[in-house]
Amino acid sequence: MSLIYVLNGPNLNLLGKRQPHIYGHETLADVEADCRKLASELGHEIRFHQSNREYEIIDWIHEAREDGAGIVINPAAFTHTSLAILDALNTFEGPVIEIHISNVHKRESFRHHSFVSHRADGVIAGLGTEGYQLGIRRVATMLKVPKKE
């Protein structure tokens, strides 16, 4: 059983209440429950975190270096601003999947750039909260494939 980190950036604690026309009506607790159920079905465990503080996300990425096999991350606004999160992800050796609930490419132009994408093995955007489950499925699949030396 591998441990997959699911990390969430700023304002995602307001999921279901903030701009539901963009982000939907599901809460972050709903997303977490769905992620836990799926991970268990796939034979994995998850550690689910959300923070409005960049340093906490970085600390969890560092923690994942020690005991995590993969990371699914929705960095939210930090996507477009945080070199520090990119640097932390670059120290992680397992698969990283970047998630965005909305289709960032249909939104304001400043949302079109992602620092995190420079490290991510895949990006899922615009599929609502279902993107989290797809991210977990992809990490689980990637963990089955032997690493190339």
> Which residues are part of the catalytic machinery?
23, 100
CA distance 119 to 107: 22
For 1-17, give one letter per residue: b (16+ CB within 10 A) or e. Answer: ebbbbbbbbbebbebbe
CA distance 47 to 17: 23
**How does DSSP assign 17-75, residue by residue?**
TS-HHHH-S--HHHHHHHHHHHHHHTTEEEEEEE-S-HHHHHHHHHHHHHH-SEEEEE-
